[in-house]
Amino acid sequence: MHYIGLRVQFIRQYWTGHVVTLSVKPCAGDSDSISEHIINEVKNFVPDYTDKQLYSTHDGASVMIKTSRLLKVRNWNHCVAHALIRISSVIALTTLY
């Protein structure tokens, strides 16, 4: 099970940055169905989304990399929280042995 979080970042006058979470929903399936789910979510909030620049943040799993490619995102980044959980798990395992 995946969770899709749709967030928008924008800058208003006087260079004030804003981040708004529009949607967080569960999404199951392969990269093709996940891509379609994301596109449908984006269409609900962003008219003419294909004219916008899309960026993605995810765990770096192959299904999400493929999804980013299918969505033609401009750039994707690793989720810092996910990376920290992985690192702490490795540290915990190494201290046990």
- Distance from C-alpha of 90 to C-alpha of 65, rounded to nearest angstrom: 23
Q: 61: how many CB neighbours lie within 10 A of its CB?
A: 12
- pLDDT tens-digit series, residues 33-79: 777 887 788 778 777 877 877 778 777 777 778 878 877 888 888 77
- pLDDT tens-digit series, residues 1-24: 777 788 887 888 888 888 888 888
Q: 76: how many CB neighbours lie within 10 A of its CB?
A: 18
Q: What is the pLDDT of residue 25?
A: 83
Q: What is the pLDDT of residue 79?
A: 77
Residue type present at position 9: Q
- Distance from C-alpha of 28 to C-alpha of 2, rounded to nearest angstrom: 6
The owner of tokens 């920290």 is: 84
Domain 2-96 sits in CATH at: 3.30.420
Q: Say yes or no to pLDDT of 31 above 70.
A: no
